[in-house]
Amino acid sequence: MSYPRIRPRRLRRTPALRRLVAETRLDPAELILPMFVREGLTEPRPISSLPGVVQHSRDSLRKAAAEAVQAGVGGLMLFGVPAERDATGSGGIDPAGILNTAIRDVVAEVGDATVVMSDLCLDEFTSHGHCGLLTPAGDVENDATLRAYAEMALAQATAGVHVVGPSGMMDGQVAAVREALDVAGFTDVSILAYAAKYASAFYGPFREAVESALDGDRRTYQQDPANLRESLREVALDVAEGADMVMVKPALPYLDVLAAVRAAVDVPVAAYQVSGEYAMVEAAAANGWIDRERVMLETLTSIRRAGAQMILTYWAVEAADLLRRTG
């Protein structure tokens, strides 16, 4: 029998050959580490549904930020967990609130050695757990929420953040934040817009991490998992309003959305490998069902291959170390 001379397997023979012809590469500089800091802690507190992830104290946050920089991680996304909440989420705007304090701490610790980002949303700070201000009937009031986001953006910019991440999926949020920053002279603060954020069931462990008070769901403002074209419209609106970068969240269940967004825009595209994605892999690995490190890198590679230039992942530091060791 005659066999063809063209044999793709030749290029898979050795690790060196596979590295040489790899079409998609992961780099630590493309990874962003989400970090939680809780008001009042004196030492880190483990998050049971996110093995290996903690709520930081201010001291442990600074130390972990420095370690992430040493690992070569490209960015840090900060989330604040206040000791008390109210109906308007005032703790997110208060200059002395835990998130704004944490921004100052981390910027003082790492400077410009990495990109310091902060979540710009009210859900961690409201007593009802929604991403915006509520009407007397209990609906999220879009335009009142935009005014609160503008104040929150100014507080974060004043604290020294490099990038704000409006994540509440309010109509017009990017324009409101951009205008507030520009008028106040913070023209160099970038916006990473959570442009395609779905009302997903994969956020469960995150709710524990931020001690969410949410009763109900966010389906009236986050996107329907059935829709892709709607995401492209949302992304286009955010870019038109001044978003410097856009994000798809979650990542793995929405790789088709991610690929479509990448094809549609010329700004950097991020994806968030959310808490539920992380927790599923950790749980399966703990039971001995999968090779944890291989699956970790395979999932991140799939997100990168689909078009993400930046990936928010709770494995950022560990993955960066693995990538450096394996070349």
Which of the residues 38, 197, 218, 262 is marked catalytic? 197
pLDDT value of position 217: 83
In this predicted model, which residue has the larger pLDDT, 73 or 138? 73
Please list, residue by residue across 154-169, b when 16 or more beta carbons sit within 10 angstroms of its beta carbon and e when fewer do.
bbbbebbbbbbbbbbb
Question: Active-site residue 249, yes or no?
Answer: yes
Tokens for 155?
Answer: 């507080």
Domain of residue 271, residue span: 23-326
CATH of the domain at 151: 3.20.20.70
Whether residue 10 lies inside any domain: the answer is: no
**For residues 301 and 13, is the Cβ–Cβ distance under 8 A?**
no
Task: Give the 3-state DSSP-derived string for the chain, with helices as H, strands as E and coil as C.
Answer: CCCCCCCHHHHHCCHHHHHHCCCCCCCHHHEEEEEEEECCCCCCEECCCCCCCEEECHHHHHHHHHHHHHHCCCEEEEEEECCCCECCCHHHCCCCCHHHHHHHHHHHHHCCCCEEEEEECCCCCECCCCCCCECCCCCECHHHHHHHHHHHHHHHHHHCCCEEEECCCCCCHHHHHHHHHHHCCCCCCEEEEEEEEECCHHHHHHHHHCCCCCCCCCCCCCECCCCCHHHHHHHHHHHHHCCCEEEEECCHHHHHHHHHHHHHCCCCEEEECCHHHHHHHHHHHHCCCCCHHHHHHHHHHHHHHHCCCEEECCCHHHHHHHHHHHC
Whether residue 268 lies inside any domain: the answer is: yes
Which of the residues 162, 178, 249, 262 is marked catalytic? 249
Whether residue 13 lies inside any domain: the answer is: no
What is the rounded average pLDDT for all residues in the chain? 95
Each residue's pLDDT tens digit, 180-215: 999 999 999 999 999 999 999 999 998 899 988 887
Measured between alpha carbons, how far is 132 from 121 in angstroms, rounded to an integer?
Answer: 8
Whether residue 8 lies inside any domain: the answer is: no
pLDDT value of position 27: 96
How many structural domains does the chain have? 1
| Phi and psi angles of residue 221, each rounded to the nearest 5 degrees, phi first | -130, -25
Question: Active-site residue 63, yes or no?
Answer: no
Whether residue 15 lies inside any domain: the answer is: no
pLDDT value of position 200: 95
Whether residue 4 lies inside any domain: the answer is: no
Reported confidence tier of residue 74, pLDDT bands at 50, 70, 90: very high
Q: Is 199 exposed, middle or buried (0-12, 13-18, 19+ CB in 10 A)?
A: middle
Each residue's pLDDT tens digit, 12-67: 999 889 888 998 999 999 999 999 999 999 999 999 999 999 999 999 999 999 99
Whether residue 14 lies inside any domain: the answer is: no
pTM for the model: 0.95
Whether residue 148 lies inside any domain: the answer is: yes
Measured between alpha carbons, how far is 181 from 302 in angstroms, rounded to an integer?
Answer: 35
User: With 70 as the cut, is the pLDDT of residue 3 above it?
Assistant: no
